[in-house]
């Protein structure tokens, strides 16, 4: 881009130093060094002035905001795998291209899913809390702090995309039987390698599984996909793990099931009204009924750097006059 005016790139949150340094080298990059979420007025000012906006999952880039975009804004390069925070159709109608950062968080998110899948049945946080408490540990006992093994259990994966498949690979190595529900059946070779069973009916799968892992994207079609009715299909001995998006599950219904013992436990890295966390969930976590994490599924240095590099590639490709490799079309959302 030598000899040309550098595009003004507004980045809404603090990114890894290596990425911010490269952004400054390549673009007229406006950083958020304080890492405080931008207010709505600040976002309005950004879209009116910027050539490129680099938002994150916590920024609401809706139709009302996009309508106020200035004539220079031509690209919204999302720092994130999904685009549920962006009204892609509204952007397209205004001639603004939207990109994301797919395929770089698969392994990190699958690792965290597997961690929750192990931690909840084996009561890891409850055990750790005993050693942090004021009381003294009385020592090993044959019947104390008993959990459940996951080897030999049936795992039902809701959403067999890249992350769901990566979870399945890990789970198979731990001796779980792999089952899945997806909009489309995966390739026969993948099914064979994972010894996976496909369920066309989500209801039927939910009723038969020991552990459910939610790994589908958040879309209008998946909002409350695990509704109160569907959650009621789960066995009382089952566990539920969600590292996708909070609004895929009816959180109020889930809380009631955990409170009444109609579900053995849950591991949640995401919440329906994030960043707000239900006080009832916090109480359940204190009692060891649920393990909750503050959206850490993709939180690795390597993953964040990979995401930033994809953002840079999308911006450079766009301003070189080519189609960005990770463009998101309204028809694909």
Can you read off the two tokens belonging to residue 227?
């509704």
Has 274 been annotated as catalytic? yes
Has 183 been annotated as catalytic? no
Has 295 been annotated as catalytic? yes
Angle at 214 between CA 208 and CA 217, to 5 degrees: 135
Pair type for strands 211-214 and 154-158 = parallel
Q: Among residues 274, 309, 316, 327, which one is catalytic?
A: 274
Q: Among residues 245, 251, 272, 304, which one is catalytic?
A: 245
3-state secondary structure the chain: CCCCCCCEEEECCCCCHHHHHHHHHHCEEECCCCCCCCCHHHHHHHHHHCCEEECECCCCECHHHHCCCCCCCCEEECECCCCCCECHHHHHHCCCEEECCCCCCHHHHHHHHHHHHHHCCCCHHHHHHHHHCCCCCCCCCCCCCCCCCCCCCEEEEECCCHHHHHHHHHHHHCCCEEEEECCCCCCHHHHHHHCCEECCCHHHHHCCCCEEEECCCCCHHHCCCECHHHHCCCCCCCEEEECCCHHHECHHHHHHHHHCCCCCEEEECCCCCCCCCCHHHHHHHHCCCEEECCCCCCCCHHHHHHHHHHHHHHHHHHHCCCCCCCECCHHHC
CA distance 240 to 12: 33
Q: How many CB atoms lie within 10 A of CB 38?
A: 19
Catalytic residues: 245, 274, 295
């Amino acid at each position: 881009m030598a000899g040309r005016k550098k595009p003004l790139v507004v980045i809404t949150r603090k990114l890894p130093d290596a990425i911010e340094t490269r952004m400054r080298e390549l673009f007229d990059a406006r950083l958020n060094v304080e890492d405080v979420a931008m207010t709505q007025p600040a976002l309005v000012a950004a879209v009116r002035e910027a050539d490129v906006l680099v938002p994150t999952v916590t920024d609401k880039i809706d139709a009302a905001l996009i309508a106020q975009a200035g004539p220079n804004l031509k690209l919204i390069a999302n720092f994130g795998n999904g685009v549920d925070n962006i009204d892609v159709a509204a952007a397209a109608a205004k001639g603004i291209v939207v990109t994301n950062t797919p395929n770089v968080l698969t392994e990190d998110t699958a690792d965290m899913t597997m961690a929750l899948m192990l931690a909840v049945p084996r009561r890891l946080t409850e055990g750790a809390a005993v050693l942090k408490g004021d009381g003294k540990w009385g020592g090993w006992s044959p019947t104390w702090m008993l959990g459940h093994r996951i080897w030999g259990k049936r795992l039902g994966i809701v959403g067999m995309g890249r992350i769901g498949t990566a979870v399945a690979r890990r789970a198979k190595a731990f001796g779980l039987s792999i089952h899945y529900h997806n909009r489309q059946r995966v390739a026969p070779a993948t099914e064979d390698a994972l010894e996976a069973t496909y369920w066309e009916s989500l209801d039927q799968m939910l009723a038969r599984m020991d552990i459910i892992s939610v790994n589908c994207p958040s879309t209008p079609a998946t909002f409350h996909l695990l509704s109160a009715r569907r959650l009621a299909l789960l066995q009382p001995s089952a566990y539920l793990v969600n590292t996708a998006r909070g609004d895929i599950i009816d959180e109020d219904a889930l809380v009631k099931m955990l409170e009444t013992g109609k579900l053995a436990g849950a591991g949640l890295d995401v919440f329906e009204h994030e960043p707000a966390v239900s006080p009832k969930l916090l109480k359940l976590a204190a009692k060891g009924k649920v393990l909750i994490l503050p959206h850490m599924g993709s939180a690795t240095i390597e993953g964040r750097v990979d995401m930033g590099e994809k953002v840079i590639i999308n911006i450079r490709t766009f301003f070189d006059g080519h189609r960005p490799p990770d463009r998101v079309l309204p028809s694909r959302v």
